[in-house]
Amino acid sequence: MTKTIYLDYHATTPVDPRVLDAMLPYFGAKFGNAASGTHSFGWEAEGAVEVARRRIADLAGADAREIVFTSGATESDNLALKGVVAAAGVARPHIVTLATEHKAVLDAASTLEGAGCRVTVLLPKPDGLVDLDQLREAIGPETVLVSVMYANNEIGVLQPVRQIGEICRGKNVLFHCDAVQAFGKFPVSVDADHIDLMSVSAHKMYGPKGVGALYVRGQNPRVRLTAQMDGGGHEGGMRSGTLNVPGIVGFGEACVVAAREMADEYRRLGVLRDRLKQRLEEGLDGVHVNGTMEHRLAGNLNVCFERVEGDALLVALPDLAVSTGSACDSHGHGGSHVLRAIGVPDELLQSATRFGLGRFTTEEEVEYAAGRIVEVVRRLREQRPV
């Protein structure tokens, strides 16, 4: 191998060439503002946005009118949590979430708590899954929202979203789901899963960075949000700001590709992931997989290596692009909040390594990466014996 092998698909994905081809005209001749309603340039841009809106809605099993464009998943998460709480009309609203959520949810919840909202953060079980009985018990008369992600961005664990949605629906509480890592990877249905708000992002599914969306249920129940950004009344008044037309077009095209190919892609990535796990466990002792393997994203493997420091491992592997956790929290200290929440001990925490496989990962790359990791871990252990 003469190139750096990219195995960090949970941090971001490369733009698919087909997506790029769809976007390019909107950087040039089709440069209109979608809000310019008095001439053909604006009409053309608006038409392209609405096509993309329908494509995203179709992939989610939603109505196009329920899709609100944002700058990305972080904004979508903030709009969902803060918008619902502001519109709730409850003296001291209560929200429930999980300790392994993305920082965009946890930090938004913390901000709301500082403003007088009551927040319950549940610990997951050691396998990373939410305890459904604890969730039921946590929901009370003032609970206005439950926020649990579909697939974890670090350990790849798939939550029982449909059961969570059923619990929320039975208690007349709104259910927000950060589906960034799941959307476009396997079928997601907002109706079947009883999801009332759902955050998605283009750059995690081979689209461009800087564009996301929030699904907001329009009926049964109709979700009411208070806008968090003012100025112009775009997106039905829920999110003001000039739309990123090229990005939105790319997002829509990424959904078209995903709808056509994700089933075969998911099966292929599962085989590659399992092969990587097998090679690591055959070549090394003291390999610990974090999170359940039964309910997990096909392209995810998160492991700890005994007697190895994660930073030393990454430095010794310049030919592999992997990570020790979330890209959004890569400059933090003290170890992953996700791994701490599932009880990974301190002596293993610093060696956690996340492998994210994706659309352009090859069998040859996986074999090479496994061999290099085994080689380097053995060497590091020899240099620093117990």
Active centre residues (catalytic): 328
- Burial label for 95, CB within 10 Å (0-12, 13-18, 19+), is buried
Treating both helix axes as pointing N-terminal to C-terminal, what angle do 363-383 and 245-283 enclose, rounded to 10 degrees?
A: 60
**Is residue 78 within 8 Å of residue 108, measured between CB atoms?**
yes
Residue 126: cis peptide before it, omega within 30 degrees of 0: no
The backbone torsions φ and ψ at residue 26, rounded to the nearest 5 degrees and listed phi first, read -85, 0
Q: Provide the token pair at 233.
A: 């009344």
Mark residue 68 as left, alpha or beta (left: phi above 0; alpha: psi -120 to 50; beta: remaining): beta
**Is residue 240 within 8 Å of residue 227, measured between CB atoms?**
yes
By 3-state DSSP, what share of the chain in percent is helix, strand and coil, each rounded to 5? Answer: 40, 15, 40
The backbone torsions φ and ψ at residue 17, rounded to the nearest 5 degrees and listed phi first, read -55, -35
Sign of CA dihedral 75, 151, 98, 301: negative
Q: Provide the token pair at 320.
A: 């592999």
Q: Tell me the β-bridge partners of 201.
A: 212
